[in-house]
Chain A
Amino acid sequence: MRILVVEDDQHVARQIERTLRKNGYAADVARDGEEGQFLGDTEPYDAVILDLGLPIADGLTVLGRWREAGRRMPVLILTARGSWREKVTGLRAGADDYLAKPFEMEELLARIEAMIRRASGHASAVFECGPVKLDTSTSRVTLKGDLVELTALEFGTLSYLMHHQGKVVSKTELTEHIYDQDFDRDSNVIEVLVNRLRKKLGASLIKTHRGQGYQLNAPPNTS
């Protein structure tokens, strides 16, 4: 899952970025409204964390432009004033949720996770595929009830595939959603990640469609 963070305070931005990466998300940071809008327009994000008080173009303007252009990615606004006027204006402009500063990173993660899940049409925090369970609220993966240790990138790959279960996901799409913009897209790291997941969770979990991409499938025999 790839998140865009638009926040002008460098300390807050760095903390959010660090927290997101630690929890298996890819994160890009924009420091002003213009850069944020550009990234949102050009990169496929699964969610946006948008501060309202931004230099150059404020958060509401950026959000308004995205929604006008038909971009539907879930947006969480960070409000500094915490007044209902600000929240209502943000929600009317198309935000999906808000968080008032100061906030705890756990709270932010919970909101992001819920927002992405809601956008994918999944009601529960737990995604299941055969014997594999992924709990987005705790970032834990279990195989037949046993905890499986995954790296942040492995978790990100599995999480994206879980959110798009049954759909064939191309290698490019997967790269775009688990890596931030600084990553070299041409490497074969995705293949490595998929192979590691197969090794940890069972070979039949991820099916390869040659030339098209990967698909998460429940193995026919789950016992």
Chain B
Amino acid sequence: MRPQIPRSTLSFRLIASSIVWVAGSLVAAGFLLVLLFRDHIERRFDAQLYDHLEELVAASEISLRGTLELTWVPSDPRFNRPHSGWYWQILRGNEVVAESASVWRRGLGIAEPNRDGSPAIQRFAGPGGEEVRGLVQNITLPEAETPFTFVVAGPVTDIAGDVREFTSKLVITLGVLGLCLVGAVLAQVRFGLRPLRAMQKALSDIRTGGRDRLPTGFPDEVQPVAHELNAVLDHNAAVLGRFRTQAGNLAHGLRNPLTVIRNEAREVKGDSGKVLRDQVSVLTGLVERHLSQARIAGSGSVLGTRASVEKTAEDLRFSMQRLYGDRALDIRVGPMAGLWFKGDAEDLEEMMGNLMDNACKWARGQVVVTGEKSGEQLLIAVEDDGPGIPEDQMNDVLKRGRRLDETVPGSGLGLHIVQDIAELYQGGLYLTPSPLGGVRAELELPAAG
């Protein structure tokens, strides 16, 4: 467990409510148990008192003179020890007829018997000032004319002591039980919430591009959430697909008329022809730029997408070899197994495609593509052995639509689009001189697991 659980967590809610409930239940149970125990102890105590009273009554006889005489004295030694807490007394009215030795010179407190002769349990002060619990009963002996009041009493401290001892043991027992229950709750919460934690992990994997959907096999309560999340992911992908199709359709729709107008405009002579051609090329540039940007998926637009750098590089190497077949270029792709771009495959193709195409246009004989993963970053470098760019002009090349040499075909937008896409992914494009002699174009992009 973390040292501090924030109030808003499910764990906190579950654990706190369980602790309150467990503590409440244990306190209530303890209270009830103490009450029951006290009742039980008192009943046993009273049973002793009844035994002693019966013994005392059995020993009582009325002599011929009409006085009460005891044929024997109750044997319990506690009745002989002064102020032992255990006392007996026999009264006729308020006159003491007989009493135990333990009363010893001081009187026993006044006990009030029930008039109907039924036994009564009472509390009163003993001769030592201590509180005693006594059994008081008026009994009419066979030969007597008036009833005698029999009193047997024992110390309340005996009961209290037993109850106290029991209570302290009970508190310890219940305390241990409480700790066990809280421990069980913690374990249960951890175990019970594990699927949620697994889902959180899966979601973060999706965000970092490690997977594209939530797995199945969550418990029944959580699985619907996983289903819904997957549906949202699918929906996102579908929406992106639709936008791309629309952008593509728009591009397709515009490019044919543009091709026609552009070529017809070449036939128009004079100033109006020039105006027409200029406007067409402005239009072409706008369409080109906006459609290529509409095509860019961009980072985070679809969770969980990732693209294999190796496959993309291989596809492009094949394409370049085909396109530049007559120049016998040596296009080498370094080891790239296990390199994944955290983003859209088409975006990666667009970036690497433009860079490799540029490299092939300028290369004398060699193009080298390498990739490596450095922490969360993916570094892809495309180098050529062409004439290169003077270092002070490296930055100019990246400016919008600018080309250093207009003689090599290309729209000039290539590098700029690469930069746009890379920046959408919080990455970058850097141009440096290559040890091969030409340009080293390095792409910095987010890597996926």
Q: Which residues of A contact B (CB under 8 A)?
A: 9, 11-12, 15, 19, 53, 80-85, 87-88, 91-92, 95-98, 100-105, 107, 114, 118, 123
Would A83 and B319 count as touching, CB distance under 8 A? no
Interface: B202 (CB within 8 A): no
Question: Which B-chain residue is minimally distant from A51 (CB atoms)?
Answer: B256
Q: What are the residues of chain B within 8 A of A104 when measuring CB–CB?
A: 262-263, 266
Would A11 and B252 count as touching, CB distance under 8 A? no
Instruction: Say how far A118's CB is from chain B's closest CB, in angstroms.
Output: 5
Q: What are the residues of chain B within 8 A of A84 when measuring CB–CB?
A: 316, 319, 346, 349-350, 352-354
Would A103 and B248 count as touching, CB distance under 8 A? no
Question: Which A-chain residue is minimally distant from B287 (CB atoms)?
Answer: A102
By CB atoms of chain B within 10 A, which of A80, A91, A107 has the most? A80
Would B284 and A80 count as touching, CB distance under 8 A? no
By CB atoms of chain B within 10 A, which of A12, A92, A97 has the most? A12
Would B326 and A80 count as touching, CB distance under 8 A? no
Known: A9-B256, A15-B260, A80-B256. 15 other contacts (CB 8 A): A11-B256, A11-B260, A81-B251, A82-B291, A83-B349, A84-B319, A84-B346, A88-B353, A91-B322, A92-B319, A97-B322, A102-B262, A104-B262, A104-B266, A107-B409
Which residues, 251 to 270 on B, are CB-close (under 8 Å) to A?
A: 251-252, 255-260, 262-264, 266
Q: Which 3 A-B pairs have the closest CB atoms?
A: A84-B353, A101-B255, A102-B258
Would B252 and A88 count as touching, CB distance under 8 A? no
Q: What are the residues of chain A within 8 A of B255 when measuring CB–CB?
A: 80, 100-102
Would A85 and B260 count as touching, CB distance under 8 A? no
Q: What are the residues of chain A within 8 A of B266 when measuring CB–CB?
A: 104-105
Instruction: Say how far A87's CB is from chain B's closest CB, in angstroms.
Output: 6
A88 to B353 Cα, complex, angstroms: 9
Would A81 and B326 count as touching, CB distance under 8 A? no
Instruction: Say how far A198's CB is from chain B's closest CB, in angstroms.
Output: 32
Would B295 and A83 count as touching, CB distance under 8 A? yes
9 contacts between A and B (CB under 8 A): A15-B260, A80-B256, A81-B251, A83-B346, A87-B353, A92-B315, A96-B322, A101-B258, A103-B259
Interface: B31 (CB within 8 A): no
Would A102 and B323 count as touching, CB distance under 8 A? no
Q: Check A88/B346 contact, CB under 8 A, given A12-B256, A82-B251, A101-B258.
A: no
Interface: B318 (CB within 8 A): yes
Would B259 and A15 count as touching, CB distance under 8 A? yes
Q: Check A81/B325 contact, CB under 8 A, given A12-B256, A88-B319.
A: no
Q: Which residues of B contact A (CB under 8 A)?
A: 248, 251-252, 255-260, 262-264, 266, 284, 288, 291-292, 295, 315-316, 318-319, 322-323, 325-326, 345-346, 349-350, 352-354, 409
Q: What are the residues of chain A within 8 A of B260 when measuring CB–CB?
A: 9, 11-12, 15
Instruction: Say how far B262's CB is from chain A's closest CB, in angstroms.
Output: 5
Instruction: Say how far A82's CB is from chain B's closest CB, in angstroms.
Output: 7
A100 to B251 Cα, complex, angstroms: 11
Question: Which B-chain residue is minimally distant from A114 (CB atoms)?
Answer: B326
Question: Which A-chain residue is minimally distant from B350 (CB atoms)?
Answer: A84
A82 to B288 Cα, complex, angstroms: 9
Contact of A15 among B263, B350, B353 (CB under 8 A): B263
Instruction: Say how far B346's CB is from chain A's closest CB, in angstroms.
Output: 5
A101 to B350 Cα, complex, angstroms: 17
Q: What are the residues of chain A within 8 A of B251 when measuring CB–CB?
A: 80-82
A37 to B257 Cα, complex, angstroms: 25
Question: Which B-chain residue is minimally distant from A101 (CB atoms)?
Answer: B255
Q: What are the residues of chain A within 8 A of B291 when measuring CB–CB?
A: 81-82
Contact of A118 among B258, B318, B326, B353 (CB under 8 A): B326
By CB atoms of chain B within 10 A, which of A9, A12, A84, A87 has the most? A84
A5 to B266 Cα, complex, angstroms: 21
Q: What are the residues of chain B within 8 A of A91 when measuring CB–CB?
A: 318-319, 322-323
Instruction: Say how far B199's CB is from chain A's closest CB, in angstroms.
Output: 33
Question: Which B-chain residue is minimally distant from A9 (CB atoms)?
Answer: B256
Q: What are the residues of chain A within 8 A of B346 when measuring CB–CB?
A: 83-85
Question: Which A-chain residue is minimally distant from B409 (CB atoms)?
Answer: A107
A97 to B255 Cα, complex, angstroms: 18
A96 to B325 Cα, complex, angstroms: 9
